[in-house]
Amino acid sequence: MATFKERVQHLVGTGTVDANLTEYLTATASELLQIMPETDLIRYAEESEIANANGFDSKNKRVLGLVRDGYSAQEVPLGLKKQISDANSIHYSAKRTPVYYYDGGTVFIKPDPTATEKVQFKYVSYPTVAHGDSNITGFPETAEYPIVLGSCVKHLLQVMNDAVDNEDMEIAQGVKAQMDTINGVYQQEMQRLSGLK
């Protein structure tokens, strides 16, 4: 299978810079991960167990769900942090109604998980996509083509800006036409992935 660099160059030519291309691929993969429905991503989810009150580092991860001892946890705002632990509060989190909140880049679950009442934490990690890769582990294969398209748009925007800086308006106009065409296809792919019609 062709590398991402080869797929991008097939659409925009060979004038790509490897470091920039890796940046464009990674940024586009993150954008797409944000719009994809959880019902699609759950098939690619990683899972970790939490058995203490230390929480779980959620940086560079899209959280898809938390289940504490068989009960699905609901997200609450950080401002309820004290109330969910207060047995006299209407926001109190009981064993059958677990909740979670974000504090910084950490996810905390209440009531606190224990060794016998663990939390299953399901998530998808934001990938780093190198230009020399040919696929992305733990990422939907159907989202790889849109990653290529989004990276092409980012690359062509840079080429167009360079042409404008060099006062070469003819090149800039040609690149813009190519970018608009690829961007149109990219937008359609984003709609497909997000489940919008």
Q: What is the mean pLDDT of residues 151-158?
A: 96
- For every residue of 31-65, DSSP letters joined together read HHHHHS-HHHHGGG-EEEEE-STT-EE-TTEEEEE
Q: What pTM does this model have?
A: 0.87
Does the pLDDT of residue 197 top 80, yes or no? no
Q: Pairing state of beta strands 99-103 and 119-125?
A: unpaired
- As given in the structure block, the two tokens for residue 105 are 């880049």
Q: Domain residue spans in the chain?
A: 4-40+128-194, 52-117
